[in-house]
Structure 1
């Protein structure tokens, strides 16, 4: 079993909520994940002070591999000359000197792609062909059981409510390429509310039979949530094992002072026969998932 903590859109600066940030720290240490993914927008206005605060917060998380990628708020918006000449100066100093990177952990390969485009499109972002080639090379000749994950800040699929729904240009091209690479999961942010589903929900794709699981995190520590997560905070916990990907969506509630699970999503990995254990009360074997379906059919025939 591999576990991931997926957070996004921390927005250090005026929108950052210190109380929620501290609750997330406690949550992370209770969870004890194998890997942490932080999918961009570490700051509100890409100042060095905000990046330093974000770095200090990241350093307090559990000491496990941490995957990062910049967001559109991590490049200067109003400091035009800096945005044109050296947009990632503070990000490289405080968060990561590498903008696109491949990380290997036992059982998984994670490719984080920098989707920001400070000189082209501040809001919507871009994924270029050379980045798709980088992912293709990283996933080449991997064993079937190895999990393949893409991380980017901007979204490849629109949210279910379609508020602020514009995806990256040529997102469908990227989804087709990732599907051919047998990518299992895409993790992202930017939307400021969660979306967990499959690429086939919104795009049939060149491959009509296989899609990619997409999990967007809301804003985890700011009060800039949108739509149904307005002024709310959320994160995702991903657990993978036995050919099954389980994603639990958590939201922060003031009365609980903590992140509380609000939904669970279960997917079977492509080409992997599912074998569920009883570690989360799911019963012995995949048969337990369909027990209610069989009972309903039996009752209907009586």
Structure 2
């Protein structure tokens, strides 16, 4: 597949362009950071064991610099689901650095709805089995990766008239943005600035919905702090966008789901990202029923824009 430079754009990926088998490994290149971006594994009844096993092989063989898991490791935040997810994370850590954040399905929101109850209880199983830190920070050569927790359960800020969405909407508080900005300011000047979070800040093509509250404000804040890349999920449809801003252009990698809950009957998918000194490449890999593995799909390459600091 051609790897020509595409001009910055905010168009989404809307088609699958290849059915060629691919080991999904990325050749080691000096100055390039590789991220295997997977989301919405939904361990529990929606999980597809054959696809999970294929992902585990890809991670083992690919030896990516980072495996980024952008939430919804489980379906109902149950201990048994988290135990299986913990094995997945443990095995990934044997070959790569790993960063995870919780998704709305990983939060036992019913333990503290609308602030009634003990708020830390909603993350009890996530902290027990996955990571005590809900907002981890990862430093690898060439990149500073900041996790932001967007899954706060049922709060007054995320209430909606749609009862089906009562625990679904994501939110980012000002103190979280301030913390991310401070971390980036302390990072090496040439580091790519990467955010991993669950809820999608860009409207899904099929769902026609944002997963995150106040998306315009949040995307503006990301640009203001010089964010190069956002890795998210939640929408269950893969997409890659480029958001232009006077301060900084930001690539949004939305990974699909590895489950039987893909939107519109689309195949499960993952994104493989290469961050170079001048470009960010995102290649989507999709599940092939015929070949029973993930195969190469659309590829996008974006020029890394210069950060224009506030005067």
| TM-score, normalised with respect to structure 1 | 0.82
Partner of 1:204: none
- Give the counterpart of 2:147 among 90, 112, 130: 112
d(CA) in 1 for partners of 2:34, 2:173: 29
The CA distance in 2 between the partners of 1:216 and 1:37, in whole Å, is 12
1:79 Cα offset (Å): 5.8
Which residue of the partner structure matches residue 20 of structure 1? 51
Q: How much does 1:195 deviate?
A: 1.1
Q: Secondary structure of 1:158's partner?
A: coil
Aligned to 1:196: 240
- Please report the TM-score for the alignment, with normalisation by the length of structure 2: 0.79
Gaps of 5+ in 2: 1-31, 159-166
| 2:39 corresponding residue in structure 1 | 8
SS in 1 for 2:202: coil
User: Which residue number in structure 1 is paired with residue 304 of structure 2?
Assistant: 269
User: Which residue in the other structure is 2:177 paired with?
Assistant: 132
Q: Verify: 1:215 aligned to 2:250, yes or no.
A: no
Aligned mates of 1:178, 1:78 — CA distance in 2: 31
Correspondence for 1:157: 202
**Which aligned runs of 4 or more in structure 1 are off by greater than 6 angstroms?**
80-83
Give the drift of 1:141: 4.7
Measured in 1, the distance between the counterparts of 2:112 and 2:176 equals 26
**In the alignment, what sits opposite 2:108?**
76
Deviation, structure 1 residue 84: 4.2
The residue matched to 2:198 in structure 1 has which SS?
Answer: coil
Write the distance in 2 (CA, Å) between the matches of 1:115 and 1:22.
28
Is 1:225 matched up with 2:262? yes
- Quote the offset at 1:83 in angstroms: 9.0
Change (3 A) 1:259 1:75: same
**Separation in 2, partners of 1:83, 1:59:** 34
Larger Rg: 1
CA separation of 1:126 and 1:19: change in aligned 2, threshold 3 A: same
Decide which of 17, 26, 44 is 2:75's aligned counterpart. 44
Match of 2:293?
A: 258
Counterparts of 1:249 and 1:5, CA distance in 2? 10
Where do residues 61-72 of structure 1 align in structure 2 (5 Å cutoff)?
A: 61=92, 62-72=94-104
d(CA) in 2 for partners of 1:151 and 1:83?
A: 28
2:211·2:234 contact (CA, 8 Å) conserved in 1? no
Cα deviation, 1:90-134, whole Å, max 9, x if unaligned, reads: 000000001112211111100100001213141011100000001
The question of 1:58 aligning with 2:103 is answered no
Number of residue equivalences: 262
- Give the match for residue 276 of structure 1: none
Q: Is the 8 A contact 2:109 2:154 kept in 1?
A: no
Kindly indicate whether the alpha-carbon contact (under 8 Å) linking 1:236 and 1:249 is maintained by their aligned counterparts in 2.
yes
Give 5+ residue unaligned stretches, structure 1.
Answer: 201-206, 273-302
CA RMSD across the alignment: 2.0
